[in-house]
Amino acid sequence: DSGVTQTPKHLITATGQRVTLRCSPRSGDLSVYWYQQSLDQGLQFLIQYYNGEERAKGNILERFSAQQFPDLHSELNLSSLELGDSALYFCASSVGHDNEQFFGPGTRLTVL
Amino acid sequence: DQQVKQNSPSLSVQEGRISILNCDYTNSMFDYFLWYKKYPAEGPTFLISISSIKDKNEDGRFTVFLNKSAKHLSLHIVPSQPGDSAVYFCAASNPWGGSQGNLIFGKGTKLSVKP
């Protein structure tokens, strides 16, 4: 158990809908990262927050947004969902901008 | 353009033998490398790392070798056990962060260790 929690574990929704994925980092970790893993793909970096502020932004679609709250949990919002958004979404945390990141179990999103 | 490449999508090894997983990178400025292991339905977990000032780091059955001139690293697992069956991701530390984040991952190699 990495100490990073993600909810929900599975999400099935329809095209055009909007969903919110939630992540709670390890106790004491200030950085939260979001990654997308599509079929046969590696982990694609989406966005990083550090202590409530956006720190780095990857190839995150405009339909996607995220935030980190004062209690350091983070949410990833995906809207106007398309079939191609079906993927595993991982959250990771680290103390600072550390190399070693601790990953949550992921949320599997299926868009039908 | 992939900066971290794991060219073997899968590898099958007999229990007790050595598993060698390979990773190539393109940016000579990368200075720290990590291996993560991922079981189905779980998130990746950190396994072992190596700094560019070293050419070898060992932790129990796991050893990572770094060849900077070839921009190549490898993970050796000796002896391999069925519980090692997982997907292994190589990652490079990106000191500039930015749009790629501070870790750049390869696509992973699925290791199967047969009893």
Backbone dihedral region for residue B60 (phi beyond 0: left; psi -120 to 50: alpha; all else: beta): left
Distance, CA of A43 to CA of B90 (rounded, Å): 10
Kindly determine whether residue B101 and residue A41, on different chains, have CB atoms separated by under 8 Å. Answer: no
Assign B97 a pLDDT band (cuts: 50, 70, 90).
Answer: low
Kindly report the average pLDDT of chain B as a whole number: 93
What confidence tens digit (pLDDT) does each residue in B24-66 have? 999 888 889 999 999 988 899 999 999 999 999 999 999 999 9
Residues of A at the B interface, defined by Cβ within 8 angstroms: 2, 4, 6, 33, 35, 40-43, 45, 48, 55-59, 90, 92, 97-106
Kindly determine whether residue A90 and residue B44, on different chains, have CB atoms separated by under 8 Å. Answer: yes
Residue A96 has pLDDT above 80, yes or no: no
Assign A103 a pLDDT band (cuts: 50, 70, 90).
Answer: very high
Assign A86 a pLDDT band (cuts: 50, 70, 90).
Answer: very high
- Out of B34, B45, B99, the one facing A57 most closely (by C-beta) is B99
pLDDT of residue A52: 94
Kindly determine whether residue A100 and residue B106, on different chains, have CB atoms separated by under 8 Å. Answer: no
Assign B87 a pLDDT band (cuts: 50, 70, 90).
Answer: very high
Kindly determine whether residue A105 and residue B43, on different chains, have CB atoms separated by under 8 Å. Answer: yes
Residue B74 has pLDDT above 80, yes or no: yes
Assign B22 a pLDDT band (cuts: 50, 70, 90).
Answer: very high
Kindly determine whether residue A97 and residue B105, on different chains, have CB atoms separated by under 8 Å. Answer: no
- Determine the 3-state secondary structure of B3 from DSSP: coil
Kindly determine whether residue A58 and residue B100, on different chains, have CB atoms separated by under 8 Å. Answer: yes
pLDDT of residue A42: 81
Considering only residues A98 and B17, tell me which one the structure prediction assigns the higher pLDDT. B17
Q: What is the largest CA-CA distance in chain A?
A: 38
Closest residue of chain B to A99, computed from CA coordinates: B93
Chain A nearest CA to B78, separation (Å)? 24
CB count, 10 Å around CB of A60? 17
Distance, CA of A41 to CA of B104 (rounded, Å): 13
Mutation site, A21, A23, A43, A107, interface B, largest B CB count within 10 A? A43
Residue B102 has pLDDT above 80, yes or no: no
What confidence tens digit (pLDDT) does each residue in A1-29 have? 889 999 999 999 999 999 999 999 999 99
Assign B105 a pLDDT band (cuts: 50, 70, 90).
Answer: very high
